[in-house]
Amino acid sequence: MVILGGVLAREIRTEIEIAAPPQAVWDVLAELEHWSEWNRVVLGLRLRGPLREGTRGRLTLQLPPPVGPRSLSVELVAVRAPHELAWQGGIRGVVRGRHGFVLEPTEHGTRLVHTERFSGLAVPPVIAVLRSRLLEGYHRLNEGLRRRCETH
């Protein structure tokens, strides 16, 4: 547990090696309209503007049971091709998340560091219940991205 400015926070972090250069991985991530073709977690991210910091949009997620599909407003907070893509959304003070992907070059391609930092008063009980399912979903998303990049 981390306390940020008096607010409880939790972070989920996953990593995967992808046998493709960072630019190729970025190209797949930047095709937001095609995400549902390679993963079952983030079903869609529709932006109301260009792929750049400050652009707002609507994110549709397949959350673990008992929650199910949910749609929420997000704002892009990091767009640094081909290194980082991140958005944030949620209800400030209750449950807010910053979801991000960092692409690091490796000898054989790219290390994808996939994180989400949750903050807010409801975070401890929510994460206590959903942490293992969220981790499983993030690993599935990572694996889907790896397969897409390595066969695309």
The CATH number that applies at residue 83 is 3.30.530.20
Say yes or no to pLDDT of 6 above 90.
no
As given in the structure block, the two tokens for residue 27 are 């190209």
Q: Please compute, for residue 18, the number of CA atoms within 13 A of its CA located in the half-sphere on the CB side.
A: 32
| Inter-axis angle of helices 123-151 and 22-30, nearest 10 | 110
What's residue 22's pLDDT?
Answer: 98
DSSP string covering 89-140, please?
Answer: EEETTTEEEEEEEEEEEETTEEEEEEEEEEESTTHHHHHHHHHHHHHHHHHH
In this model, does residue 138 exceed pLDDT 70?
yes
The tens digit of pLDDT for each residue in 52-104 reads 999 999 999 887 677 778 888 999 999 999 999 999 998 777 888 899 999 99
Q: Please compute, for residue 33, the number of CA atoms within 13 A of its CA located in the half-sphere on the CB side.
A: 4
Q: Residue 147: in which H helix or E strand, if any?
A: helix 123-151
pLDDT of residue 123: 76
**What is the Cα–Cα distance from 134 to 52, expressed in whole angstroms?**
26
pTM: 0.88
Higher pLDDT, 129 or 51: 51
* Number of domains forming the structure of the chain: 1
pLDDT exceeds 70 at position 4: no
- Identify the DSSP state of 36: G
Q: Is residue 146 part of a domain?
A: yes
Domain holding 19, by residue range, is 2-30+76-151
Whether pLDDT at 130 is above 50:
yes
The Cα 66–Cα 64 span in angstroms is 6
Q: Is it the case that residue 119 has pLDDT exceeding 80?
A: yes
- pLDDT of 149 > 80? The answer is yes
81 domain residue, yes or no: yes
